[in-house]
């Protein structure tokens, strides 16, 4: 690789999941396990049906465009991309592929990749409709039109990534933006995120700003997970380097390949000369409409705090480590949970510690999301308070949390049920301490000689109280009683 560098560009398709209805149809926009239930006649291309633009989808697309710093169009209009496929019932897709139609042109996004700040130029972001989904079996195929007409944002980057790591870090950042801005769940498991990857290689010491030095561009379609993007890029880079080294690179024509999950390789689909002519033209059924400054301003105001804003806040105001802040903002639902706990009055650092050290581990282990567990921000706050006020020990608090998660019970109730209320009464503890010291005069001597017998005394008190004695109070009393002797 050192002899070569890769130029990588992405086309990221992300379904907008947060509108009530589809982008040009009044059918419900939601993920359904049952096929063909979210359908209106227009979604199946019945004769005479017409598209009606969903303003909410346009709004979300404009929001994404603003976040990416893109130039906004003066008018919104759409065009048709014409091709035949059974999952495309109208025989064309309504999109905004060619300029100047897209909701956003020429923006940029900075993102972190392994601690380094990188910038990628955005060529454009546009709003379009998704196709139906088809499944192919031996002798027949099935089509599910639930997905037909679901709003889709296609984001096209310039070839600014130099590695699979950069491309994947960018995708993770975009996913977070879509989640934070309330545009999409961006869940690849639901097929909401799909990518096409463009990869070419060139000699490492040449100037990448001069197109003459660029290699042959290979497009890889149909990459449906971030892991797949990483694998596909690395596979392509290696494949292209192999061709260079075996002297066959110059024979390679510009082409489209597809990523095959089963063989973990890219497979030739078509060469550039066989590229489909999509015969774009402006969709005549949707009148061009002018974007008003007022509307754009109101959309701009709706852009919420994004992951990068929150991360900055967590580090500079809450005093979290870069690592903890990064971990917490990664998923919006976790960051929202954290924000709620802090808003209730919890100590920001301690709350972060709870999340990163205990709760996230539990979620990962059980493959759950934070919204799926019984624990609420209020419960975590209560557990933290119980420790803070000395009612339970920190060790006990971990047990309480486990019980909350597994038994689905409230922490305060659990403390009572489990008899965990900590003994913080001076008189009770002092009586036990005196009894323990009386039983071990030799160990008091050892302590005075510098041997560590102190922990033994604490342990004995804990044993006698079945762990309920307030540990710091116990330590104070032991010290006092030893000094008295």
Partner 1 sequence: MEYMSKSITELHELLQNGKVTSEELVNEAIKKAKEAKDKYNAFVTVIEDAKGCEVTDSLLSGIPYGIKDNYSTKDILSTGSSNTLKDYIPFFDATAVINLKKAGAVGIGKTTMDEFGMGGTGTTAHTGNILNPWNTERMCAGSSSGSAAAVAAGVVPYATGTDTGDSIRKPAAYCGIVGYKPTYGMISRYGVFPFASSLDHLGVLARNVEDACIVVDAMKGLDKNDMTSWDSSGIELHKSLTTDVKGKKICYIKEICDKSMYPDASDELLEHLDNFRNTLEYFKELGVDVVEESVDKNLLDAQYSVYNVISCAEATSNMSNLTGIVFGPRAIGDNYIDMMKKYRTEGFSSLIKRRFVIGSYVLQAENKERYFNNAQRVRRLIVDKWKSLYEKYDAVVLPVSSGPAKYLDNSKNKPYQNSHILEEHLQIANFGGFPSITIPNGFVNNLPVGINITGNCYDDVNVLSLACALESKMSYKNQIAKEAK
Q: Note the residues at the interface with partner 1 (CB under 8 A).
A: 41, 44-53, 80, 82, 84-86, 89-92, 141, 143, 277, 279-281, 284-287
Minimum CB distance to partner 1 smaller for 279 or for 378: 279
- State the nearest-atom distance from the C-beta of 100 to partner 1, in Å: 15
Q: How far is CA 394 from the centre of its chain?
A: 31
- State the nearest-atom distance from the C-beta of 204 to partner 1, in Å: 35
Burial (0-12, 13-18, 19+ Cβ within 10 Å), 422: buried
What's phi and psi for 404, nearest 5 deg? Answer: -55, -45
Which two three-digit tokens encode residue 125? 């972001």
Q: Do the bridges between strand 218-223 and strand 255-260 make them parallel or antiparallel, or are there none, so unpaired?
A: parallel
Which two three-digit tokens encode residue 319? 């005093």
Minimum CB distance to partner 1 smaller for 249 or for 280: 280
Minimum CB distance to partner 1 smaller for 77 or for 249: 77
* CA distances from residue 266 to 71, 214, 220 in whole angstroms, order as listed: 35, 21, 7
Minimum CB distance to partner 1 smaller for 148 or for 199: 148
Q: List, as own/partner pairs, every contact residues 364-368 make where C-beta atoms lie below 8 angstroms and the sequence separation is at least 24, other chains included.
A: none
| Nearest to 129, CA basis, from 72, 89, 73, 159 | 89
Q: How far is CA 122 from the centre of its chain?
A: 20
- State the nearest-atom distance from the C-beta of 398 to partner 1, in Å: 57
Minimum CB distance to partner 1 smaller for 141 or for 472: 141
Minimum CB distance to partner 1 smaller for 289 or for 374: 289
| Nearest to 55, CA basis, from 108, 103, 105 | 103
- State the nearest-atom distance from the C-beta of 134 to partner 1, in Å: 9
Cα–Cα distance between 43 and 381 in angstroms, integer? Answer: 48
- State the nearest-atom distance from the C-beta of 182 to partner 1, in Å: 26
Minimum CB distance to partner 1 smaller for 83 or for 323: 83
Which two three-digit tokens encode residue 80? 């048709």
Minimum CB distance to partner 1 smaller for 44 or for 443: 44
| Nearest to 391, CA basis, from 362, 371, 368, 411 | 411
Q: Do the bridges between strand 92-95 and strand 79-82 make them parallel or antiparallel, or are there none, so unpaired?
A: antiparallel
Q: Do the bridges between strand 4-15 and strand 79-82 make them parallel or antiparallel, or are there none, so unpaired?
A: unpaired
- State the nearest-atom distance from the C-beta of 285 to partner 1, in Å: 5
- State the nearest-atom distance from the C-beta of 103 to partner 1, in Å: 18
Minimum CB distance to partner 1 smaller for 77 or for 106: 77
Tell me if 347 sits within 8 A of 355, measured CB to CB: no
Cα–Cα distance between 277 and 270 in angstroms, integer? Answer: 13
- State the nearest-atom distance from the C-beta of 274 to partner 1, in Å: 14
Q: Running DSSP on this structure, what letter comes out for residue 358?
A: I
- State the nearest-atom distance from the C-beta of 46 to partner 1, in Å: 7
């Amino acid at each position: 690789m050192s002899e070569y560098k890769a130029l990588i560009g992405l086309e990221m398709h992300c379904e907008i999941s947060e509108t009530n209805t589809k982008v040009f149809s009044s059918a419900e926009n939601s993920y359904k396990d049952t096929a063909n239930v979210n359908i209106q006649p227009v979604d199946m291309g019945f004769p005479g049906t017409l598209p009606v633009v969903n303003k909410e989808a346009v709004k979300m697309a404009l929001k994404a465009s603003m976040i990416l710093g893109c130039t906004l169009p003066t008018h919104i209009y759409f065009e048709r991309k014409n091709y035949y496929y059974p999952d495309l019932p109208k025989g064309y897709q309504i999109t905004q592929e060619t300029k100047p139609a897209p909701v956003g042109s020429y923006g940029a996004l900075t993102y972190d990749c392994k601690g380094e700040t990188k910038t990628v130029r955005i060529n454009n972001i546009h709003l379009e409709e998704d196709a139906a989904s088809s499944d192919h079996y031996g002798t027949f195929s099935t089509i599910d039109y639930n997905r037909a007409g679901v709003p889709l944002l296609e984001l096209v980057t310039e070839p600014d990534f130099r590695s699979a790591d950069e491309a994947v870090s960018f995708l993770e950042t975009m996913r977070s933006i879509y989640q934070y801005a309330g545009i999409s769940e961006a869940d690849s498991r639901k097929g909401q995120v799909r990518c096409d990857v463009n990869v070419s290689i060139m000699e490492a010491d040449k100037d990448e700003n001069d197109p003459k030095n660029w290699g042959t561009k290979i497009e890889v379609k149909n990459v449906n997970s971030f892991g797949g993007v990483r694998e596909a890029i690395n596979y392509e880079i290696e494949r292209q380097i192999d061709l260079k080294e075996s002297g066959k690179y110059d024979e390679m024509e510009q082409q489209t390949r597809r990523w095959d999950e089963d063989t973990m390789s890219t497979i030739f689909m078509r060469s550039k000369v066989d590229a489909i002519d999509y015969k774009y033209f402006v969709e005549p059924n949707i009148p061009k409409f002018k974007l008003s400054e007022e509307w754009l301003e109101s959309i701009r105001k709706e852009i919420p705090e994004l992951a990068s804003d929150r991360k900055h806040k967590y580090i500079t105001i809450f005093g979290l480590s870069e690592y903890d802040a990064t971990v917490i903002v990664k998923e919006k639902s976790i960051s929202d949970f954290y924000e709620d706990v802090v808003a209730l009055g919890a100590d920001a650092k301690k709350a972060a510690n709870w999340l990163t050290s205990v709760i996230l581990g539990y979620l990962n282990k059980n493959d759950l999301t934070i919204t799926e567990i019984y624990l609420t921000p209020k419960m975590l706050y209560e557990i933290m308070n119980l420790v803070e006020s000395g009612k339970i020990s920190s060790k006990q608090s971990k047990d309480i949390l486990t019980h909350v998660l597994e038994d689905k019970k409230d922490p305060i109730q659990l403390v009572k049920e489990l008899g965990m209320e900590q003994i913080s009464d001076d008189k009770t503890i002092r009586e036990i301490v005196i009894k323990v010291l009386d039983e071990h005069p030799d160990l008091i001597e050892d302590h005075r000689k510098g041997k560590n017998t102190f922990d033994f005394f604490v342990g004995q008190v804990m044993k006698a109280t079945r762990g309920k004695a307030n540990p710091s109070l116990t330590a104070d009393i032991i010290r006092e009683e030893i000094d008295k002797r």
